[in-house]
């Protein structure tokens, strides 16, 4: 929760006028505890996992002939049944794995210093943090994925990742 009651108090504490983004952030987050702001991640992930792919599913189901020329594998179409099965798997995984991890990760987020205070990071700070994140994520993803192709891990775990060989709107979160 932000330690300021009004925009004026926040500006006085920072010694400057708030930017437009900081004013919006203040109005939204001033009375919300940090853990509530952290749990917003779950809502964003739900949106990206389930709602964002829906237009692509709709296009594939109802306009497949018109969009085939834009597809990587134009002759491969999934049925509604296949897509719905994939969707149910994604939602089950989301509820059983992603939500608990989000709920349990709040202490770690606080421990490593991720903050929700009013002074928003500069553009260069955001750039460098994202760059470092992408390098670390890409490096670790490569090696973890390579490990999952070992005989035991592939048979027991990873084969699901390769079940959908043609991309559909939900195949990325499904494979994840």
pLDDT in tens, 59-87: 888 887 787 787 777 777 778 888 888 88
Q: Are residues 149 and 79 part of one domain? A: yes
Q: Are residues 115 and 153 part of one domain? A: yes
Q: Are residues 59 and 22 part of one domain? A: no
Residue 124: what pLDDT? Answer: 92
C-alpha angle 166-172-176 in degrees, rounded to nearest 5: 125
Q: Are residues 13 and 79 part of one domain? A: no
Tell me the residue range of the domain where 51 lies: 33-175
- When divided into structural domains, the chain yields a total of 2
Q: Are residues 75 and 141 part of one domain? A: yes
Q: Are residues 101 and 16 part of one domain? A: no
Q: Are residues 167 and 136 part of one domain? A: yes
Q: Are residues 140 and 91 part of one domain? A: yes
Q: Are residues 85 and 23 part of one domain? A: no
Residue 133 backbone phi and psi in degrees, to 5:
-60, -50
Q: Can you list the pairs that 148-152 forms with residues at least 24 positions away whose Cβ atoms lie under 8 Å?
A: none
* 25-30 average pLDDT score: 87
Q: Are residues 108 and 74 part of one domain? A: yes
C-alpha angle 143-113-3 in degrees, rounded to nearest 5: 150
The Cβ of residue 92 has, within 10 Å, a number of other Cβ atoms equal to 10
pLDDT higher than 70, residue 172? no
In tens, the pLDDT along 120-155 reads: 888 898 899 889 988 998 999 899 989 999 999 999
In tens, the pLDDT along 84-133 reads: 888 888 888 888 888 898 888 888 888 887 777 777 888 898 899 889 98
Contact 50, 133 (CB under 8 A): no
Q: Are residues 95 and 51 part of one domain? A: yes
Residue 167: what pLDDT? Answer: 67
Q: Are residues 27 and 40 part of one domain? A: no
CA distances from 16 to 7, 11, 19, 119, 135 (A): 11, 5, 9, 11, 35
Torsion angle, alpha carbons of 107, 110, 112, 118, to 10 = 160
């Amino acid at each position: 929760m932000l330690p300021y009651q009004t925009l004026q108090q926040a500006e006085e504490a920072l010694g400057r006028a708030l930017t437009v983004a900081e004013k919006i952030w203040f109005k939204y987050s001033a009375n919300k505890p940090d853990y509530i702001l952290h749990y917003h991640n779950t809502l964003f992930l739900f949106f990206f996992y389930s709602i964002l792919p829906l237009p692509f599913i709709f296009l594939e189901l109802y306009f497949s002939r018109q969009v085939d020329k834009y597809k990587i594998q134009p002759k491969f179409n999934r049925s509604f049944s296949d897509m719905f099965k994939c969707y149910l798997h994604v939602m089950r995984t989301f509820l059983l794995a992603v939500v608990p991890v989000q709920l349990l990760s709040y202490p770690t987020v606080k421990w490593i210093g991720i903050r929700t205070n009013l002074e928003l990071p500069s553009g260069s700070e955001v750039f460098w943090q994202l760059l470092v994140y992408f390098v670390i994520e890409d490096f670790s993803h490569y090696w973890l994925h390579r490990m999952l192709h070992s005989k035991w891990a592939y048979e027991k775990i990873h084969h699901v990742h390769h079940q959908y060989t043609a991309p559909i709107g939900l195949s990325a979160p499904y494979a994840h």
